[in-house]
Amino acid sequence: MREWYFKLAFFKRRIYRHAFNLHMNAKKILESADVDAVVIYNGSNEDLNFYYFTRLLYGGIFEGSLAVISEEGVKVITSILEEQSAKKGSNEVLIYRTGEEREKLLREAVGSANRIGLNYASLSMSDFNRLKKIMGEREYVDVSEKIMEMRMIKDEEELKNMREAAKIASEVADIMPDFMKEGIREYELAARLGYEMFRRGAEDFAFTTIMAFGENAAEPHYLSGARKLKRGDFVLMDFGARYHHYNSDITRTFVFGRASEEQKEMYYTVLEAQRIGIEMLRAGVNGRDVDMKVKEYINSTKYKDRMIHSTGHGLGLAVHDHIGLTSLKDLILKENMVVTVEPGVYIPGFGGVRIEDDVRILKDGVEVLTSAKKNELIEV
């Protein structure tokens, strides 16, 4: 009886927290965008903001569903196919069986709202025109930038999901050397990696796994191929787990066999560059400055101009959730942003090293969410 009571109390607290987050997010977007209502359509292009505002993170696909945000809160308009999944949340749920019923429910949900926010960034032109036809002559406003500003700052529920996604990926990164055998192909090792993530609770891949052996590690966005593993190869693994719609993104680089002096020098150069970057991070720092400092260090070594990408990006519902640590644009870091820190050095025909971690910005420092070993180059 006592155990049942505590389980019920925990469930009630979770529902309350969800409802609080829903209310706060709804209020923020209405006020910041100066609109009467916001309509998020999870249509032909998936709109991750549907999950952000509804917090329906624990099941359901919700293709064709809508979230209507107003002073009354969040209403979910979805098909009978998704009814049970939709009712797991704290929203008002409106069920349709036909396209005509969906249109009627949408008109009723927006009511007399005149100024309606839409996420232009995810809407196809046909979906945009269809929504306007259904809702009629009103003032339509692009709220995509306002939403992304909100999504940059993670609340505790989001951070909890991201910590779990990072934990899964970190555990897998640490055990992958156990599966490295001479002659194994990149796609075989990538498949094993996916299996190990799923058996630890991942709900999906964050993105298509990069598994690169030897010279292929010099391509930052290489995809797993048929290359066989042989002694002396770099093994670069860039992957992530998705947990309750939130993502992790981690990269570790190993050497299969004995590492050469060149491989060691590359590795420890990148490791030091990452240390410099992480050490700079805290609220109030410009991400541009972090990128410039990391590249300044790498360019002071023999690997000048061999880092060919930015130091990091924002992470969350999307893998590239927003800009992060790049010299191309200013971004003043704020508390509870999550960014990757992933310097790399690449030599075509030889290989590459990248080391990546997921980092939460704090007022006076950071919380590193990923924890896989990296302080010493692992020779397998």
Residue 4 has pLDDT above 70, yes or no: no
- Residue appearing with tokens 């519902």: 317
Q: Quote the CA–CA distance of 202 and 163 in Å, as a whole number.
A: 12
CA-based R_g, the chain, Å: 23
1/337: higher pLDDT: 337
Residue 12 has pLDDT above 60, yes or no: no
Residue 17 has pLDDT above 60, yes or no: no
What's the mean pLDDT in 7-21? 47
- Tell me 259's DSSP state: P
Residue 16 has pLDDT above 60, yes or no: no
pLDDT value of position 24: 85
Number of C-beta neighbours around residue 15 at 10 A: 13
Q: Quote the CA–CA distance of 193 and 179 in Å, as a whole number.
A: 9
Q: Quote the CA–CA distance of 117 and 64 in Å, as a whole number.
A: 18
Average confidence score pLDDT of the chain:
94
How does pLDDT run across 356-371, given as a tens digit for each residue?
999 999 999 999 999 9
Cβ neighbours for 318, distance < 8 A, ≥ 6 positions apart: 48, 247
User: 119 with 144: CB under 8 angstroms?
Assistant: yes
pLDDT value of position 44: 82
Facing residues of 123 across strands?
A: none
Facing residues of 252 across strands?
A: 237
In the chain, the percentage of residues whose pLDDT exceeds 90 is: 92
User: 338 with 314: CB under 8 angstroms?
Assistant: yes
In this chain, the answer to whether the domains covering 2-150 and 153-368 adopt an identical fold is no
Cα–Cα distances in angstroms (integers) from residue 209 to residues 161, 173, 175, 249, 324, in the given order: 20, 12, 16, 10, 21
Give domain 153-368's CATH superfamily.
Creatinase/methionine aminopeptidase superfamily (3.90.230.10)
Q: Quote the CA–CA distance of 95 and 122 in Å, as a whole number.
A: 23
How does pLDDT run across 29-79, given as a tens digit for each residue?
999 999 999 999 999 889 999 999 999 998 899 999 999 999 999 999 999
What's the mean pLDDT in 266-291? 98
Q: Quote the CA–CA distance of 346 and 323 in Å, as a whole number.
A: 22
| CATH of the domain spanning 2-150 | 3.40.350.10
How does pLDDT run across 223-256, given as a tens digit for each residue?
999 999 999 999 999 999 999 999 999 999 999 9
Cα–Cα distances in angstroms (integers) from residue 174 to residues 161, 193, 214, 250, 251, in the given order: 20, 11, 20, 11, 11
Mark 319-343 as b/e (b = at least 16 C-beta within 10 Å): bebbbbbbbeeebebeebbbbbbbb
How does pLDDT run across 153-200, given as a tens digit for each residue?
999 999 999 999 999 999 999 999 999 999 999 999 999 999 999 999
How does pLDDT run across 82-115, given as a tens digit for each residue?
999 999 999 999 999 999 999 999 999 999 999 9
- Res. 19 pLDDT band, cuts 50 70 90: low
Domain boundaries, the chain: 2-150, 153-368
Residue 9 has pLDDT above 80, yes or no: no
